[in-house]
């Protein structure tokens, strides 16, 4: 595995995490980073019918300290379920 994440299917609420709301018949690569050269490793993904959560893998700065992972959310947020 190379660490890339792909999604496809219904996307009326942006739940595929692609940055737009068009349905996709073929797998599309998800870009979690806003920085071009930043590599983000995803540890877990949780999906529902209308939203998705992805949790970044913990990073170690050095032997004494770990950074907290970032959480990425997308999809319908009518009731604040995305945080």
pLDDT for residue 1:
55
The pTM score is 0.76
- Report pLDDT digits (tens) over 36-49: 777 788 889 998 88
Query: CB neighbours of 2 closer than 8 A, spacing ≥ 6?
Result: none
The rounded percent of the chain whose pLDDT value lies above 70 is 88
Q: Predicted confidence band at 23 (pLDDT cuts at 50, 70, 90)?
A: very high
pLDDT for residue 60:
64
The rounded percent of the chain whose pLDDT value lies above 90 is 43
């Amino acid at each position: 595995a190379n660490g890339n994440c792909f999604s496809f299917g219904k996307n009326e609420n942006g739940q595929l995490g692609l940055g737009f709301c068009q349905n996709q018949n073929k797998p599309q690569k998800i870009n979690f980073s806003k920085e071009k050269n930043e590599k983000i490793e995803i540890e877990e993904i949780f999906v529902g019918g209308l939203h998705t959560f992805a949790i970044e893998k913990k990073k170690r700065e050095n032997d004494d300290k770990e950074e907290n992972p970032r959480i990425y959310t997308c999809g319908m947020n009518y009731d604040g379920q995305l945080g």
